[in-house]
Amino acid sequence: MQNMTPTSEHSLTLLDLQRMVRATLESRFRDPLWISSEISELKVNRSGHCYLNLVEKGSTDGAPRAEARAVIWKSAWAPMASMFEAATGATLRAGLRVLVRVVVSYHEVYGFSLQIIDLDPRYTLGEVERRRRETIARLQQDGVWDMNRELTLPRPTLRIAIVSSDTAAGYQDFMNELCRNTYRFETTLFRSLMQGDAAEESIVAALSAIAAREDEFDVVAIIRGGGSTSDLALFDSYLIASYVAQFPLPIFSGIGHDKDVSVVDMVAHTSLKTPTAVATKLVEMADYEMNLVDNIAADIAYLVESRLQNEDMRIYTYGTNIERFATGYINDSLNRIELINNNIHNRIELIFSSEEQRLNEAERALKSYSIDNILRLGFAVARNQDGAIRSIANTHVGQSVDIELLDGIVGAEIRSITPKIE
């Protein structure tokens, strides 16, 4: 083989090479082509032109296998974007897989690029959005769409299971926010990949581990500190969203979307933008419970004090009433005693008066039966040595007797005794 020493006469300039490449491409790709690709970057500059970066990722590791710069000129951008949004209900953005019609161009300075002149709205939001919509429809058909949102939050909500990467900035932000207060949150991290092909399986495994220890937790926080739209499309997965929708504990999502809402956000009990927002929400809930406890304690203290005051008033009223009733009862009793005493006194006086009258009458009666009175009536009393003679059985003929008259005593002798015939 003959050695050839390169010389300037046999070499090409860079410009010559670039022109050859340009001529070859323009000759080969004279007509526009339809290509499918994912938008990895999209920016509209001040002049109104839209600059994009298109990427084709590997099916296993997600690494780019092909990339190209693309542009939609100002004159085409506004109508194309409006048409896409009207047809799909979404805006063109990074993370969407699109079907676009391009003109292949090559510039000696700027290199290879594609000019997008049309896109197919039937391709809608690309594979990511199509999967998202299919996931939503499938969950709704399964009847699990509202299940997690309908769960009642335990009160207080202090025991938190966390699904996140331990090296993620979002996890650190979440923990820092929780630690800024004095509440005793109990957190348990279930480490999980939050991006890449293995992330779906890893997140499901973490949720399954939490479900096996369901009684140890009040709530689950799925947190991720942001990322590209294509990375966050992981949370449109039917498998993950189905686990979240049917999970037995309330799930809080803080996946880091600035504008978009993932399917996991839709089916989670509570959806917040960032991990810090999730922590803030948990602290606010603890604040609410503490304020509620303080209010209840204040209400109890007020009710106890009011009850004590009411009881003091009742006791005072009872004491006053007892004193009044006792005084009235004593007065009534004294009046009754006085009345009884007066009645007794009157009865006694009446009895004494009656007895006195009876005694007077008896005395008069006795006086009327005195010897002097009897003698004044013309009667006489015969006596012997034994006393007054009351029966002829105590006399005998010849017996000497004394006959007492009103004005003296006459001595006599019994001459005869004649019994009285009845």
Do residues 104 and 182 share a domain? no
Asked whether residue 354 is domain-assigned, the answer is no
CA distance 279 to 62: 31
The phi-psi region of residue 189 (left if phi > 0; otherwise alpha if psi is between -120 and 50; otherwise beta) is beta
Q: Which of 224, 192, 194, 223 is nearest to 209 (CA)?
A: 192
Do residues 181 and 97 share a domain? no
Do residues 114 and 33 share a domain? yes
Asked whether residue 189 is domain-assigned, the answer is yes
Do residues 211 and 174 share a domain? yes
Is the Cα dihedral 280, 286, 292, 295 positive or negative? negative
**How confident is the model at residue 347, as a pLDDT?**
83
Asked whether residue 256 is domain-assigned, the answer is yes
Do residues 199 and 218 share a domain? yes
Q: Phi, psi (5° rounding) for residue 35?
A: -135, 150
Q: Which CATH number do you get for residue 35?
A: 2.40.50.140
Asked whether residue 159 is domain-assigned, the answer is yes
Asked whether residue 21 is domain-assigned, the answer is yes
How many domains does the structure of the chain reveal?
A: 3
- pLDDT tens column, 366-392: 776 677 777 777 778 888 888 888 888
Asked whether residue 272 is domain-assigned, the answer is yes
> pTM for this one?
0.53
Asked whether residue 336 is domain-assigned, the answer is no
Of residues 367 and 67, more confidently modeled: 67
**How confident is the model at residue 408, as a pLDDT?**
86
DSSP letter string, 81-104: HHHHHHHHSS---TT-EEEEEEEE
Do residues 209 and 270 share a domain? yes
Do residues 104 and 239 share a domain? no
359 three-class SS: helix
Do residues 175 and 115 share a domain? no
- pLDDT tens column, 140-153: 999 999 999 999 99
Chain length of the chain: 422
Do residues 135 and 265 share a domain? yes
Do residues 258 and 145 share a domain? yes
**How confident is the model at residue 87, as a pLDDT?**
77
CB-based contacts of 123, cutoff 8 Å, min separation 6: 36, 97, 98, 99
Average pLDDT, the chain: 86
Indicate the pLDDT class of residue 1, thresholds 50, 70 and 90.
very low
Question: What residues make up the domain containing 72?
Answer: 14-124
Do residues 158 and 252 share a domain? yes
DSSP letter (8 states) at residue 233: G
